[in-house]
Amino acid sequence: MFRLRRPYSRTFWQRLGVAMTGHPVNDEGSAQEPSVIYEGDPQILAGDVFKMWWMGGWVTPHLNYAESVDGINFTNLVANPVIVDIMHTFVTKFGAVYYAYGVPVAAINQIDLYTSNDGIAWVLDTASVLPPGAGGSWDDFAMGNCFVWQEGVNDWRMIYEAHADALDPWALGYAISVDGRVWVKNGGNPVYNPVGSVGGPEIYQSLAGVYWMWAHYSDTGFLPTDVERLYSNDLINWTLDRMTFFRHTEDEGVRQVLGQIADVSLGEVGGQTYMWYSASQDGTVPGTGVIKVAITPFTLERIITMIEDT
């Protein structure tokens, strides 16, 4: 039976530096919201590579693509961007198909689905796979980042962020689908609605069947944000485990009221876990955002089961 144990208080993560910066003109100096997959079939380099899709731009956001052999030094696709006028994008792969869920600039209160066979050439598969809630509901004003995964045939899951108006903090909702295109929202949404703002969910299901979520969080409104970890047995009732990753450097806005680390993407390779994340000195200013990477010598399963002697 699963029993939560008190985790180590020491920091697991070693920061390896900046993995991506936005082009000063093409991306308005902004790089953020990474999605990373490690696999073969590269489009730029050779061998098994880390494939990163990331949001460039601020006023005119778009999706870019890059590859790396070490998870730190990335080479951008010359033909970037791969999708225009989209933000808060999450990219994953099921079978031979890549799926990109993102918020269109023209309708910020919905999530669209794009698909691709190579991760570069994308087509709009289905518009508004996740539509806004009814007027006045918690998710009628704007959608944000989501995390999508499959638990079996015809069993798709999504955790997504949204809010009710421009001044309302972000909260998290839960939805299910049989095909990744038609989603049914949980009737009790939002499933996680703290006093502050929360977003950028990343989900891992442990061998014990428990869901673990990493998300950025602010207890004072929208900013500043650090990363917290939560757990749930049913994706509806969430319990805070602990704050797990804090702003630490100048480019993360350490000790700044508008600093930010956010939008975590986790990946296990060779028994180690990588964390790519957005960082900004000031989360409200274009051109301050970068994507950084940290690493731990443990698997995700090991991280969540490590305890300290009492």
Q: Where are the domains of the chain?
A: 14-305
Q: What is the pLDDT of residues 50-75, one digit of tens each?
A: 999 999 999 999 999 999 999 999 99
Note the pLDDT of residue 41: 98
Q: Which two tokens stand for residue 211?
A: 């869901």
pLDDT of the residue at 306: 77
Q: What's the N-to-C CA distance of the chain in angstroms? A: 20
Local confidence band at 78 (pLDDT 50, 70, 90 cut-offs)? very high
* Residues 4, 52: Cα–Cα separation, whole Å: 33
Q: What is the mean pLDDT of residues 226-236?
A: 97
Alpha helices in the chain (DSSP H): 300-305
- Mean pLDDT calculated for residue range 102-127: 98
Give me the pLDDT at residue 7, please: 39
CATH superfamily of 14-305: Glycosyl hydrolase domain; family 43 (2.115.10.20)
pLDDT digits (tens, 9 = 90+) for 257-295: 999 999 999 999 999 999 999 999 999 998 999 999 999
Per-residue confidence (pLDDT) for residue 220, from 0 to 100: 84
Given this model, what pLDDT does residue 61 score? 98
Give the Cα separation of 69 and 61 in Å (integer): 26
Confidence at residue 243, expressed as pLDDT on a 0 to 100 scale: 87
Q: Which of 135, 124, 117 is nearest to 89 (CA)?
A: 124
Binning pLDDT at 50, 70 and 90, where does residue 12 land? confident
**Residue 6 reports pLDDT greater than 60:** no
Cβ-Cβ contacts under 8 Å for 235 (sequence gap 6 or more) = 157, 159, 174, 191, 211
Omega within 30 of 0 (cis) for the link into 81: yes
How high does pLDDT run on average in the chain? Answer: 94
